[in-house]
Amino acid sequence: MPSRFFVTGSDTNVGKTVVSAMLCAALDAVYWKPIQTGSREGTDRMTVMRLAELPKSRTVREKYLFTPPVSPHLAARLAGVRIDLRKIVAPKLAAEENLIAEGAGGVLVPVNRRQLMTDVMKRVRLPVVLVTRTALGTINHTLLSVAALRAARIDLRCVVMVGKPNKENQKAIEHYGAVAVAGTLPHLRRLDRRTLVRAFDTHFEKALFRE
């Protein structure tokens, strides 16, 4: 079975894109971000292509692309459009291909007047990897995100932490959230395919990323 996951976060700017790049590099996966805001600062697809050294052919174009760096529901409203989840369909890939899909913002970010990022996850039907910080405050943010995912009956595969390793926070999340922490991506001096693959090989439980 191929390894295919949806990467979400406990907050915005928590490290989802770097983790997505790491997983694309380590799993030799195709990258897809169905909804992108803040494109005036560049897209996450471009960032993943650069970090994971992916050719454009190993990425899928965004279904919705907005310029302002704001929540998807607001970006769409400012553009005079409505994000229609019926138009968000997982890409058709060869049976053996791996896929990393990345959400926009956190778990409960709204995408239109009625639907949230959790509805996007249910739409694409991929197991979820939750990215969160290691720093103070992460226990609360992570457990709230875990609770929201479970309330939506979403398949939460694991948590990935980003930052300076913090064993106590990791143990608390695993205990109170009853969820596996696959590993911690530390701050890296260089961000390129080689260092990301090395970080995955060194710091992560690889079995959690196999279907």
Which of 16, 33, 164, 171 is the catalytic position? 33
Spatial separation of the C-alpha atoms in residues 5 and 211, rounded to whole Å: 10
Give the residue from 24, 151, 123, 129 showing the smallest Cα distance to 64.
123
* Tokens found for residue 158: 């694991």
- Assess whether 206 carries a catalytic annotation: no
What per-residue string of b and e applies to 20-54 under the rule 16 or more CB within 10 Å gives b? bbbbbbbbebbbbbbbbbbbeeebbbebbbebbeb
Nearest to 206 by CA among 18, 27, 28: 27
Please give the Cα distance from 194 to 186 (Å, whole number): 15
Catalytic residues: 33
